[in-house]
Amino acid sequence: MQTKKILILILSVMSLCSHAQSFYVRAGLGAAICTAPRLQYSSTSVRITDSTSYTITESKRGGLGDGIPIVAAAGYYFSEHFGVELGVDYFTGFSHKTVDNFSFASETQKIHGSMLALVPGFVMKIDLDKINPYARIGLMIGILNNAITNKTFENTVSRAKDYGGIAVGAQIAIGAEYPLSDLLSIFGEVNMDGISWSPKKGKLTKYTESGRDLLADMPVHQKSWVYDKSLASSQTINEDEPEHKSAINYSFTNAGLIVGVKINLGK
Amino acid sequence: MQTKRYFILILLLISVYTQGQSFYVRAGLGAAICTTPHLAFQSTYTDNGLSGTTEVKKGGLGDGLPMVAAAGYYFTKNFGVELGVDYFYSFTYKLVSNYNGDNATRKTHGSMLAITPALVFKFDLDKFSPYARLGIMIGVLNSIITKINDIEVKDSANIQHNYDMASKLYGGIAVGVQAAVGAEYALGNRVSLFGEVNLDGISYAPKKGKYTTYTLDGADQLPTMTTYEKSWVYLKKVDGSLNNSSNEPMTFSLNNYSFANVGLIVGVKINLGK
């Protein structure tokens, strides 16, 4: 009964704004750069004599926020100027590479990440002559996230995947639509994501030595791990359980330019 | 001659839009939470490090108080430009570590003064005027202050030393992006109140650092410390083969601190008219 009353109330409120009600869907893609990158380090160890050496360390821009955002969303304008939207944002990050050159070998590490986020948002717009500027503010909920690290050390090749856990952040976009017809518009927007992600667990998905797969025979403790907020230094190692590591955080915060197509579905 | 022509052209363009021209100033403050915290660690160890725990805590310098003062100009009814001065003072985060009775407390906070040129769009409803703003943040005066109190365990002579240190990281420019969505509520022709959600995407890599306080059992150590002992620089590339002299600062690899945040800011806007 209570639900019915709320539903009738919502419908009544919506009917007051019926003047400019309209549904739409939109899809777009773009490019983004990380605005809060982490730094990663490449190093080169230089041998002077058998017992002495020194290291040259170089800082490099890391973070997982450089990449390609892809978005699909459905929205509803409940008045001439205001609407709500539910977006599905997929972000695939570019790889960041670091190289550590030791005197006897070198290790190459490449890391990239991806995030699938739901973004319920609030939209406001104005209709000018041909261009319709708009702004959107939303809550980002990263539901499927991962970070992949590929490592090569001498003849060993490994791939690790961090995954699990939800990320919560904020998104603001400011852009403009250009109507091509009553039905179709193109849009361009500057999109800012403020979000980071702490994975819950990780695992090796590849581990080969001289081309030979060693993953299948590795104990659980060596090929999987969980991230804990609090970590005891003296752990009893159980080969059948994942290793425990201190929690980490990846930055997906970025600013990007997204262009796409919007289809106005009418009332 | 060329400059004059551009100037005349700009004036002509502006005159086309005279209908909604107006100047304004605004000032506000609020609270923000970090959207990209880095994680900081505190630990308690006994038995020479054989047993204990490490705890992960939220670091990052984006939790804090944003303050803003800005002047803007609407060149049409809907579009304007603005120059903001944003000051951000971050809350302190505290880490307490204990290693075999040696107890160290670290408190860190940061601040950033940024210039934010921005593009604004708004539309006027009855009493409310929703708006959105997109700008480039240029952090020109940034600093990170860490205060450390380290109380060592008593030595064999039953003496316990107490170190008090404060360091400041500074120098360098931070560049980022700012977006805000909000609404104004007109109290009269001249004065409005505004409220906005503000998203800053910015981080800062300091260029140098120094101790501003260094006392041992209350005695100031700074005057007798060498430049190498009390100051340092952050470099993109650190060459370990170079021997620093005591008259030069120590060298470290660059480090980056997140000031990225989302905040709620409220304030007052004064419309100055044409």
The domain limits of chain B are 17-206+255-273
B249 three-state secondary structure: coil
Of B134, B180, B203, the CB nearest to A36: B203
Q: Do B39 and A231 touch (CB under 8 A)?
A: no
Which residues on adjacent β-strands are paired with residue B167?
Answer: B146, B211
Q: Do B39 and A248 touch (CB under 8 A)?
A: yes
- Closest residue in B to A48 (Cα) is B241
Write the CB contacts of B27 (distance below 8 Å, at least 6 apart in sequence): B67, B68, B69, B70, B267, B268
Of A54, A233, A253, the CB nearest to B260: A253
Angstrom CA distances, A16 to A10, A21, A80, stand at 10, 10, 12
| Minimum distance, in Å, between the CA of residue B219 and any CA atom of chain A | 36
- Start-to-end CA span in chain A (Å): 28
What is the average pLDDT across B82-104? 92
Contact list, B202 vs chain A (CB under 8 Å): 35-36
Q: Do B177 and A255 touch (CB under 8 A)?
A: yes
Joined tokens for residue B127: 């009493």
| Minimum distance, in Å, between the CA of residue B163 and any CA atom of chain A | 27
- Write the DSSP symbol of residue A10: H
Dump strand ranges (E) for chain A. Answer: 22-34, 39-47, 53-61, 67-77, 82-93, 96-101, 106-125, 132-153, 156-163, 167-179, 184-194, 196-197, 201-209, 212-213, 224-228, 230-232, 243-246, 250-251, 254-266
Q: Do A172 and B180 touch (CB under 8 A)?
A: yes
Q: Do A192 and B125 touch (CB under 8 A)?
A: no
Q: Is B20 exposed, middle or buried (0-12, 13-18, 19+ CB in 10 A)?
A: middle
* Dist CA A191 CA A260 (whole Å): 13
Domains of chain A: 19-199+252-266 (2.40.160.20)
- Are the C-beta atoms of residues A175 and A187 closer than 8 Å to each other? yes
Reply yes or no on whether the pLDDT at A16 is more than 50. no
Of B52, B200, B201, the CB nearest to A233: B52
Of A56, A126, A172, the CB nearest to B199: A172
Q: Do B241 and A46 touch (CB under 8 A)?
A: yes
Q: Do A192 and B179 touch (CB under 8 A)?
A: yes
Q: Do A249 and B236 touch (CB under 8 A)?
A: no
Contact list, B261 vs chain A (CB under 8 Å): 194
Q: Do B179 and A57 touch (CB under 8 A)?
A: no
- Are the C-beta atoms of residues B148 and B163 closer than 8 Å to each other? yes
What is the ipTM metric for this complex?
Answer: 0.86
* pLDDT given at position B19: 52
Task: Find which of B35, B41, B129 to mutate to test the A interface (most A CBs within 10 Å of its CB).
Answer: B35
Q: Do A169 and B35 touch (CB under 8 A)?
A: yes
Of B35, B43, B236, the CB nearest to A253: B35
| Minimum distance, in Å, between the CA of residue A215 and any CA atom of chain B | 30
Joined tokens for residue B157: 């002579």
pLDDT in tens, A208-256: 999 999 999 999 999 999 999 888 877 778 888 999 999 999 999 999 9
pLDDT in tens, A119-178: 999 999 999 888 999 999 999 999 999 999 999 998 999 999 999 999 999 999 999 999
Of B181, B254, B258, the CB nearest to A135: B181
* pLDDT given at position A13: 44
- Are the C-beta atoms of residues B206 and B170 closer than 8 Å to each other? yes
DSSP notation for B123-190: ---SSEEEEEEEEEEEEEEEEEEEEEEEEPPP-TTS---EEEEEEEEE-S-EEEEEEEEEEEEESSSS
Reply yes or no on whether the pLDDT at B21 is more than 80. no
Q: Do B177 and A169 touch (CB under 8 A)?
A: no
Give the pLDDT band (50/70/90) at residue A17. very low
What percentage of chain B carries pLDDT values higher than 70? Answer: 91
Q: Of 2.30.40.10, 2.40.160.20, 3.30.70.260, 3.30.565.10, which CATH number belongs to B17-206+255-273?
A: 2.40.160.20
Give the global pTM: 0.87
Of B54, B180, B201, the CB nearest to A255: B201
Contact list, A249 vs chain B (CB under 8 Å): 36-39
Reply yes or no on whether the pLDDT at A264 is more than 50. yes
What percentage of chain A carries pLDDT values higher than 90? Answer: 71
Q: Do A39 and B241 touch (CB under 8 A)?
A: no
Contact list, A197 vs chain B (CB under 8 Å): none
Joined tokens for residue B50: 């054989």
- Are the C-beta atoms of residues A76 and A121 closer than 8 Å to each other? no
* pLDDT given at position A14: 45
- Closest residue in B to A57 (Cα) is B238
Average per-residue pLDDT in chain B? 89
Q: Do B56 and A169 touch (CB under 8 A)?
A: no
| Minimum distance, in Å, between the CA of residue B213 and any CA atom of chain A | 28
pLDDT in tens, B148-197: 999 988 888 888 899 999 999 999 999 999 999 999 999 988 999 999 99
Nearest Cα to A55, choosing from A63, A47, A65? Answer: A47
Q: Do B202 and A36 touch (CB under 8 A)?
A: yes
Of A128, A192, A252, the CB nearest to B177: A192
* Dist CA A222 CA A240 (whole Å): 9
* Dist CA B239 CA B234 (whole Å): 12
Nearest Cα to A200, choosing from A248, A142, A252, A140? Answer: A248
Average per-residue pLDDT in chain A? 90
